[in-house]
Amino acid sequence: MANYSTNEFKGGLKIMLDGEPCNILENEYVKPGKGQAFNRVKIRKLISGKVLEKTFRSGESVEGADVMDTELAYLYTDGEFYHFMNNDTFEQIAADEKAVGENKKWLVENDVCTITLWNGSPITVTPPNFVELEITETDPGLKGDTAGTGGKPATLSTGAVVRVPLFVQTGEVIRVDTRSGEYVSRAQK
Amino acid sequence: MKSWQPTTTHEARVARAELLRNIREFFYARNVLEVDTPLLSNGTVTDEHLDAFDTEFNFAQSGEPTRLYLQTSPEYAMKRLLCAHSGSIYQICKAFRHEGEGRWHNPEFTMLEWYRLGFDHFALMDEVDALLQETLATSPADKMTYQQAFQTYLNIDPLSADDNVLLKAMEQQNIDIHAPQSLSDDSKLQLLFSYAIEPKIGIDKPCFIYNFPASQAALAKLSATDERVAERFEVYFRGAELANGFNELSAASEQRQRFETDNEKRRAANLPVKPIDENFLSALDAGLPSCAGVALGIDRLLMLKTNAKHIQEVINFTVSRA
């Protein structure tokens, strides 16, 4: 993988830091009038998800990270791995539990997810912003309550638990925002 | 090519023209003469962390190809005028620095530089403050020494702190850099200043920081009462380092010594040694009248005036579109 000089730093550039691929979020050039130049960089570590600030001497080079995003459809899990497929080439890739992490509760068959590959292996799986899932269990709400005040917990088919309005019942399919984990609406049939 | 268009708005261009007119009126009212000096020079700056663009001149009278340097500021040429009895002078010109671009930086920029005979750095700070009040409608500025700033915001004394104290302060401020112990003490101080002090000063009104450590004196006189500091100041306002001024060093021998020390530092850091500006040193030999001078970044001033987030909003074509 190529090396990058600090002059090439910009948001979105992928570099290696402490043996971990990272994404540059922000880059600021710091140059006191009479002093040495630095680059003050905000970085997200792609495996741990940690965001940190790092300072480089301007002109320094760092190793680039071979990181790319692919759009793949979720197929199934065999308990150990999560299997995805490229809908154009039918090529399949398996992501482990660590790469999927908390997002496993938003994986819906045939939904297209963003899989981040580092040296060809999946390191993170990002579900679509909105998914539709069936409610497998929720307390029957009071009839006639449409205001949605308070709400109640509902367990979805993947095991995810979200707060839903009282009028939504077991067996219904709802739309959820995976970024916030919040109920959006009943699914359109 | 899709980057032919300017990155400025028409309003920003009008604001620049207005600002330049205001500055010229400011100096006209104070009887300071506008001058013009060349951008190309035979000699250049020796500072370890300042690099000039250079070019080859194939038509020199010597018959030999000659290296010429674009000025990083008009300081040497303007001081030659002062030595030739020009009286107080100012100049609005382009300056060039061979370095990166950023939110506050473009390698080619517009500079306002002026010199006042008989002023010390305190009198000049007051005049810079007056210019800021007139062009940006600011309130009267705060003033603080470099030492006070470090004591207030970091609880350390920059004039006596050793390596360990500085490294510990950097750690406390979460300044995460590879091999920090290999940075010079001045670089450590400058990082601490940029990260921990600059964001806290000059918020509602400009802030002058003065009496910089002697090791960062550049072309300023050392203080007669405390040799650890130089009579140099900087102005900070809303995140911008706006201006840098000196009570000007006039001793030619001391100036030569500083240039040579710079070049030794360059040699030690494996950087090319720079040709000293002999015309400038000869002028100092002839005698620089007692004066104070300051350089102010006009693009940054304009950014503050127009609330610009990036310097490209006030420069028509930054280096990537030049």
Residue spans of the domains in chain A: they are 3-63, 67-126, 130-186
Q: What is the rounded average pLDDT of the residues B246-275?
A: 95
* CATH fold for the domain made of A3-63: SH3 type barrels. (2.30.30)
B315 CB-side CA count, 13 A:
27
Considering the domain delimited by A130-186, tell me its CATH architecture: Beta Barrel (2.40)
Phi and psi (nearest 5°) for A123?
Answer: -115, -25
pLDDT at B278 over 70: yes
pLDDT at B55 over 60: yes
Whether residues B190 and A52 touch (CB distance < 8 A) is answered with no
Chain A residues lying within 8 Å of B311, measured CB to CB: none
pLDDT at A145 over 60: no
Across the beta sheet with B291-297, what order do the strands follow? B33-34, B89-96, B108-117, B291-297, B240-247, B229-237, B207-213, B142-145
Alpha-carbon span A169 to A174, nearest angstrom: 10
A22-36, A41-55, A143-157: segment of lowest average pLDDT: A143-157
Q: Quick one: pLDDT at residue A144?
A: 56
Q: What is the rounded average pLDDT of the residues A14-20?
A: 94
* Number of Cβ pairs < 8 A linking chain A and chain B: 63
Alpha-carbon span B90 to B76, nearest angstrom: 13
Nearest to B176 among A36, A55, A60 (CB): A55
Q: What is the rounded average pLDDT of the residues B178-204?
A: 96
Q: Are A134 and A156 in contact (CB under 8 A)?
A: yes
Nearest to B100 among A29, A53, A55 (CB): A29
Domain A130-186 in the same topology as domain A67-126 = yes
The Cα-based distances of B83 to A130, B87, B232, B252, B307 in angstroms read: 73, 9, 21, 12, 39
Place of tokens 């680059």: A39
Place of tokens 């080439």: A89
Q: What is the rounded average pLDDT of the residues A56-80?
A: 94
Whether residues A36 and B183 touch (CB distance < 8 A) is answered with yes
Q: What is the rounded average pLDDT of the residues A140-169?
A: 82
Q: What is the pLDDT of residues B5-19, one digit of tens each?
A: 999 999 999 999 999
Q: Quick one: pLDDT at residue A129?
A: 96
pLDDT at B195 over 90: yes
Q: Quick one: pLDDT at residue A188?
A: 77
Distance from chain centroid for Cα B241: 9
Q: Quick one: pLDDT at residue A151?
A: 86
Q: Quick one: pLDDT at residue A150?
A: 74
pLDDT interval class at A148 (50, 70, 90): low
pLDDT interval class at A143 (50, 70, 90): low
Chain A residues lying within 8 Å of B104, measured CB to CB: 29
Alpha-carbon span B265 to B52, nearest angstrom: 17
Residues of B with CB under 8 A from a CB of A: 47-50, 99-105, 174-178, 183-184, 186-187, 190-191, 193-195, 216, 218, 234, 241, 244
Whether residues A56 and B177 touch (CB distance < 8 A) is answered with yes
ipTM beyond cut 0.85: yes
Query: Smallest CA–CA separation between B310 and chain A, in Å?
Result: 11
For B173, which residue in chain A has the nearest alpha carbon?
Answer: A53
Mean pLDDT of all residues belonging to chain B: 96
Q: Across the strands, what pairs with A116?
A: A69, A124
Q: Are B176 and B149 in contact (CB under 8 A)?
A: no
For A28, which residue in chain B has the nearest alpha carbon?
Answer: B102
Percent of chain B whose pLDDT exceeds 90: 97
The Cα-based distances of B155 to A84, A85, B149, B152, B177 in angstroms read: 56, 58, 9, 6, 22
* CATH fold for the domain made of B10-141+205-321: BirA Bifunctional Protein; domain 2 (3.30.930)
pLDDT at A189 over 70: no
Q: Are B89 and B80 in contact (CB under 8 A)?
A: no
Chain B residues lying within 8 Å of A6, measured CB to CB: 100
Reported CATH class of domain A67-126: mainly beta
Whether residues A35 and B175 touch (CB distance < 8 A) is answered with no
Amino acid at site A169: Q
For A6, which residue in chain B has the nearest alpha carbon?
Answer: B100
